[in-house]
């Protein structure tokens, strides 16, 4: 599966469109991460646990999007976009979407 955020796949020709595919995941952070983060609030710097949480969650959303594209018989997803939105109670949604296509 080729995934790009450009409108076409560089060096390839799009032969068919299969429509919009999307994947999302909603994550809640657990208390442990916040305790570790409290110290960083004093001295500043990267919150590695949160970076990992984001990477992991976004990967999950992408995987779900890929699964949808595979079900449609596509071999690439173009024009991929990401958004996040916060749901009540400190949970956040990571959402990715794009257009499933067939390239030669």
Sign of CA dihedral 41, 43, 44, 48: negative
Q: How far is the CB of 71 from other proteins (least distance, A)?
A: 20
Q: How far is the CB of 2 from other proteins (least distance, A)?
A: 7
Cα separation, 14 vs 101, in Å, equals 7
**Using CB under 8 A, which of the segments 14-22, 67-75, 78-86 binds other proteins?**
78-86
Q: Do 2 and 41 meet the contact criterion of CB atoms below 8 Å apart?
A: no
Burial class (CB in 10 A: 0-12, 13-18, 19+), 104: exposed
**Using CB under 8 A, which of the segments 14-22, 52-60, 67-75 binds other proteins?**
52-60
Please tell me whether residue 18 binds other proteins under the rule CB under 8 A.
no
Binding site residues, other proteins, CB under 8 A: 2-12, 27, 29, 33-34, 37-38, 40-47, 50-51, 53-55, 57-58, 80-84, 86, 90, 92, 94
């Amino acid at each position: 599966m080729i995934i790009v955020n450009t409108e076409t796949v560089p060096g390839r020709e799009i032969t068919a469109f299969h429509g919009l595919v999307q994947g999302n995941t909603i994550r809640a952070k657990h208390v442990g991460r916040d305790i570790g983060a409290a110290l960083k609030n004093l001295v500043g710097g990267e919150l590695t646990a949160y970076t990992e949480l984001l990477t992991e969650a976004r990967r999950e959303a992408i995987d779900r999007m890929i699964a949808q594209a595979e079900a449609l018989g596509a071999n690439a997803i173009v024009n991929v976009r990401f958004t996040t939105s916060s749901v009540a109670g400190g949970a956040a949604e990571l959402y990715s979407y794009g257009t499933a296509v067939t390239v030669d």
